[in-house]
């Protein structure tokens, strides 16, 4: 099944990133659509949220949301891109894709983000974010992180001489990801080398982690979540969703887009997140 047309025109164009970067995002979302397409509702965002920009025209963004059907374990798939011109003359480009599961399963969610604030470096975040305590539930750690050999993908990327660990300034972000999370800063020293890494190194690992999520989480074995576990998952999921909005959007969007546009986008996201 192809990408749903009404949302494709703005979101999937990725007009402000390089061809390798655009191709990577397109391939990841296409993989999600091809596997989950029949489980997902059409994208139905207001046009002024599907694409938005500030009055000055120096900040713009796009959202892509498809909710899971009632019979699907998928809650929703969320894609976004953001482009902001910097006072220094460069640009900040952020592209992301995430997928959240319902409380009918306790399997991890999927998170992918590329952040570029210059032509020669980027930050990459890729993880299957856990929804249970990995100390209290060692079987969960084994099933989703050890048996799948997720850490091998992080180790492979860390072997790049241009790669170094990335530490978010928000301690909460560091606490919510898994021990196998790929959180790297890649400083290539030159634009051509960075594009080469995006083209030749990032797709293989990104697609492999996504395939693990699709196979083991979205289409994994029945997890047998009881009522007590569902209540715990709902409470924990809602905390994560609220924090995601507060940390990622509520503190920055009004400054970039003004209160009206920021309020409109955040309101839609709170509805999607159901918080």
Cβ pair 180, 154 in contact under 8 A: yes
Number of domains in the chain: 1
Return the pLDDT at 275. 87
Helix (H) / strand (E) element for 157: namely helix 151-158
pLDDT for residue 263: 94
Task: State the residue range of the domain holding 210.
Answer: 7-226
Share of the chain above pLDDT 90, in %: 83
Q: Is residue 134 part of a domain?
A: yes
pLDDT digit string, tens, across residues 8-53: 557 888 989 999 999 999 999 999 999 998 899 998 899 999 999 9
Which whole number is the average pLDDT over 113-130? 96
Asked whether residue 272 is assigned to any structural domain, the reply reads no
Calculate what percentage of the chain has a pLDDT beyond 70.
96
Q: Is 126 inside any structural domain?
A: yes
What band does 250 get if pLDDT is binned at 50, 70 and 90?
confident
Residue 86 CB contacts under 8 Å (≥ 6 apart), including other chains: 92, 117
| 234, part of any domain | no
Q: Are 205 and 153 in contact (CB under 8 A)?
A: yes
| Residue 107, domain member (yes or no) | yes
pLDDT tier for residue 252 given thresholds of 50, 70 and 90: confident
Is 273 inside a domain boundary?
no
Confidence of residue 163 (pLDDT cuts 50, 70, 90): very high
Which CATH number belongs to the domain containing residue 66 in this structure? 3.40.1500.20
> Which of 183, 192, 114, 194 is CA-nearest to residue 161?
194
Is residue 120 scored above 90 in pLDDT? yes
* Contacts of 204 by beta carbon, 8 Å cutoff, 6+ apart: none
């Amino acid at each position: 099944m192809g990408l749903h047309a009404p949302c494709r025109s703005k979101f999937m164009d990725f007009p402000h990133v390089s061809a390798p970067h655009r191709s990577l995002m397109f391939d990841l979302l296409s993989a999600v659509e091809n596997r989950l397409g029949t489980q997902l509702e059409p994208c139905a965002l207001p046009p002024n949220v599907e694409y938005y920009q500030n009055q000055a025209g120096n900040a713009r963004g796009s959202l892509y949301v498809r909710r899971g059907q009632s019979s699907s374990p998928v809650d929703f798939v969320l894609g976004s891109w953001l482009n902001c011109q910097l006072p220094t003359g460069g640009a900040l480009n952020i592209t992301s894709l995430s997928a959240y599961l319902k409380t009918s399963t306790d399997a991890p969610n999927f998170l992918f983000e590329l952040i570029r604030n210059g032509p020669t470096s980027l930050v990459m975040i890729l993880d299957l974010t856990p929804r249970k305590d990995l100390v209290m539930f060692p079987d969960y750690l084994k099933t989703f992180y050890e048996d799948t050999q997720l850490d091998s993908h992080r180790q492979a990327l860390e072997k790049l001489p241009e790669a170094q660990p990335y530490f978010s300034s928000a301690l909460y972000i560091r606490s919510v990801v898994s021990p196998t999370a790929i959180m790297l800063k890649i400083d290539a020293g030159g634009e051509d080398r960075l594009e080469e890494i995006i083209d030749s190194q990032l797709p293989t690992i990104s697609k492999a982690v996504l395939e693990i999520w699709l196979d083991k989480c979205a289409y994994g074995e029945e997890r047998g979540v009881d009522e007590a576990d569902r209540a715990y998952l709902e409470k924990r999921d809602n905390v994560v969703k609220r924090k995601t909005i507060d940390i990622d959007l509520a503190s920055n969007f009004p400054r970039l887009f003004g209160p009206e546009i920021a309020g409109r986008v955040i309101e839609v996201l709170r509805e999607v997140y159901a918080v």
